[in-house]
Chain A
Amino acid sequence: MRTPWYDKIMSLDKKILYVIMFIVVMIPLLAKWTYNPAVMPEVKDIYDEIEGIYAYNQSHPDTPQGILVSFDYSPSTNAELDPMTMSILRHAFMRNIPVITWSAFPDSIDLAKTITTYIAKEFRAVYGQDFVFMGYPYPMNAAVIAFGSDVRNFLVKDFYGNLSTDLPLLNKIYNYKSIGLIVTVSGTSYPRFWVTYANTLYGKKIATGTTAVSAAEFYPFLQTDQMIGMMGGLRGAAEYEKLVEALEITIIGDDIERYLRNLYSPEDDFPWDTKIFAPGFTDEELREHLSTRKTARTGMASQASSHFYVIVLIILANLGYFFKRRAENKR
């Protein structure tokens, strides 16, 4: 007797499912499809906050406000979280907002340094003036509290060994009074820590970027306004990426490649600190810089297609189950 179709569906070999999953994930990545997400209010809130800081800085050029970006994740979650820090930093540098970054774990120092300088380079940001990287403050809670008075006393030197008091940016922005927003990007429960200290003690605004799995943990903080916004998972990163891209088009224009190519000319006499980054981009680097503007949305295309694939599978399995049961009932 021939096996009925529903039985075949019900006992489909897993290997077939896996191979199709592999193809479904790979095609959008290879074809460089991008996904255009609808922006959720919790992500838009972060964007608006940074725009607010920009507006404030326009009207108060002598006492600007900066943002503190804390890299609270280790490399294992960077696929989801790197696009978030990159977009946030792009937004800040584009708007000339002073940026302070640091990392909460020893194994994320390298990651934080690389991303900070990588994005700074795209906007001719000058180390010490437009941004600083403070390395790995230890213990973290002491550093967070030190920011309440004067962080230069606690972090005497930055990551590169410069005295904090020698850095023009830190001489303007050295405590919470001049920090407009704290962005904590983390796959752990670190954002809770920021809420406890920086928000509860000093009333600072906290924005969080977190992995999709942890997002459910932080919704209660959004409800109580202890966090002003949240980017949840790759989806949240894609939303922010989209907002920043739109801004980039208004400010810089469509042709980012030309912009980057012409950013550093050979006759540039600005004394770049090559310890931080070397001016100019090779073709390879240019390609990379352009593709990181779409990382989250390309990843989301992959994620979207795999979600739909799983949904199709679920429907298929349920059809098989339904017809099998009906056939059994008839018998």
Chain B
Amino acid sequence: MKKKVFVLIGCALFFFLPLIFAQESAPAEFFLRDTPNNAGEQVELTFRPLASPEEVPEFLLNITIGEKPVRVRRLVNAGKPVILPLITHQAGVPVKVEVQGVLPDGSLTDLGAVDVVSKGEWLNMNSMKAFILGLLFIGLIIFYVGRAKRGQDLFIRKIPGLEAIDDALGRATEMGRPVFYIPGTSSMADVATLASLNILRPVARQVAKYETPFSVPVKDPIVVSVAQDVVKEAYMAAGRPDLYEDGIAYLASMGQFDYSGAVSGSMVREKPATVFLLGMFYAESLILAETANSVGAIQIAGTDASSQLPFFIAACDYTLIGEELYAASAYMSREPLLLGTLKAQDILKGILLVIFVLAVIFQLLGVDFIMDSFLNPQW
């Protein structure tokens, strides 16, 4: 008998509990959480309206961040969940959100409050994939540099643009005309500029050896001082410090088209026999390349700006495409350390290619996890 009563009560509870809860279900569901993977400068409110827009057309959020006065935000019930970022600027700031529903007649009903304290994380999981790949890359570099140091020969394919440098400089010497070197029009923060300055050194050294007039017009003031140093050291290494002067590398102008005007002008007047256009370029690329061509110069260009590559390929005698620019300093110096990194780069590219191909194959087979795990920023 007792058993039956329990079973009955159990059944009743089973059927009625959901009803009780359903009657009490709030017009909205919301929670506040610290935004992961940041320094605590933000928390986020997830707000899911459960009542229909007819029942509760709007919600009022009374937001208190730290010591600041309460801010009221009106949230229209669109029937869709909303994630609202709240800026705290730093970790350790308490955030409180009180929610009120605005009923159709304009009256307010309290829906409760949530709070959280913003906190910073020690590890950004979003960057984890990049970090692991970076570590793998560094590992590969160390491995191949070690092999190169032990004297193992590393093959590197011919890059015509770089092979041509010697001839181009020789030509300028024979003709008695200057060599122009343009290290791109970007700042030092651009890796392409660094890559270009790496090539400047061997070029300047050769130029000093041949006693050819040399000019390095620059657009960025910081690049000027670095370029001056690079040229000076190169002249000293070539044993010709007497030929060096600070005016070789100079600031032509800091505006994009002023710069191209200034450089084109000096090209027309000085008629260089060889022009190097290596680094980051924007719309001025073709202006420089065509002017160089019009004065009969050999142009060796190279950039990683993919939208400018077509112009260089059309207008210049030799073009280093994208990564060839980065490979140039290793190629020219044949230094085992640098060649080692080149090899590591190729291996990593191979690994990525394999992953791409595998991802495509798996996707075709309907297995999504490889694609998904790569596209999903978090692990």
Q: Which residues of A contact B (CB under 8 A)?
A: 14, 145, 148-150, 153, 175, 177, 201, 213-214, 216
Contact = CB atoms under 8 A, between A and B. Distances in A.
A10 B329 CA distance: 37
A230 to B, nearest CB: 17
A177 B78 contact: yes
Contact of A148 (B71, B82, B294, B307): B82
Nearest to A154: B73
Interface in B122-171: none
Nearest to B59: A149
A150 B102 CA distance: 15
B22 to A, nearest CB: 27
Interface in B263-317: 294, 307
B8 interface: no
Contacts of A148: 82, 84
B73 A153 contact: yes
B11 interface: no
Nearest to B73: A149
Contacts of B85: 145
B74 interface: yes
Q: Is the interface of A mostly helix, strand, loop or mixed?
A: helix
A278 B73 CA distance: 37
Closest 10 CB pairs of A and B: A177-B78, A150-B74, A149-B73, A149-B75, A177-B76, A175-B76, A213-B307, A153-B73, A14-B294, A150-B73
A155 to B, nearest CB: 14
Identify the interface centre among A14, A145, A149, A201: most chain B CB within 10 Å of its CB.
A149
A149 B74 contact: yes
B262 interface: no
Nearest to B256: A76
11 contacts: A14-B294, A149-B73, A149-B76, A150-B74, A150-B75, A150-B76, A153-B74, A177-B76, A177-B78, A213-B307, A214-B307
Nearest to A203: B80
Contacts of B78: 177
Interface string B82-98: 11110000000000000
Contacts of A213: 307
A149 B307 contact: no
A306 to B, nearest CB: 15
Contacts of A153: 71, 73-74
A223 to B, nearest CB: 15
Interface residues of B, number: 12
Contacts of B76: 149-150, 175, 177
Contacts, number: 24
A126 B57 CA distance: 29
A6 to B, nearest CB: 21
A214 B294 CA distance: 28
Contacts of A149: 73-76, 82, 84
A210 B73 CA distance: 35
Interface in B61-87: 71, 73-76, 78, 82-85
Contacts of A216: 307
Given A149-B75, A150-B73, A153-B71, 13 more contacts: A14-B294, A145-B85, A148-B84, A149-B73, A149-B74, A149-B82, A150-B76, A153-B73, A153-B74, A175-B76, A177-B78, A201-B83, A213-B307
Contacts of B74: 149-150, 153
A216 to B, nearest CB: 8
Interface string B246-268: 00000000000000000000000
Nearest to B71: A153
Contacts of B83: 201
Nearest to B85: A145
Nearest to B47: A149
Contacts of A150: 73-76
A201 B85 CA distance: 11
A216 B310 CA distance: 13
Interface string B341-367: 000000000000000000000000000
B255 to A, nearest CB: 12
A150 B73 CA distance: 7
Interface in B316-340: none
Nearest to A141: B85
Contacts of A201: 83
Nearest to A216: B307
A293 to B, nearest CB: 29
A171 B78 CA distance: 16
A177 B74 CA distance: 13
Contacts of B73: 149-150, 153
A166 B71 CA distance: 20
A38 to B, nearest CB: 25
A116 to B, nearest CB: 26
Nearest to B78: A177
A153 B74 CA distance: 9
A81 to B, nearest CB: 15
Nearest to A178: B76
Nearest to A142: B87
A243 B324 CA distance: 46
A190 B74 CA distance: 28
A177 B73 CA distance: 16
A149 B77 CA distance: 10
A48 B74 CA distance: 32
Nearest to B61: A149
A213 B85 CA distance: 35
B198 to A, nearest CB: 28
A214 B307 CA distance: 8
Interface in B33-78: 71, 73-76, 78
A175 B294 CA distance: 56
B330 to A, nearest CB: 30
B290 to A, nearest CB: 9
A92 B208 CA distance: 65
Contacts of B75: 149-150
A149 B49 CA distance: 14
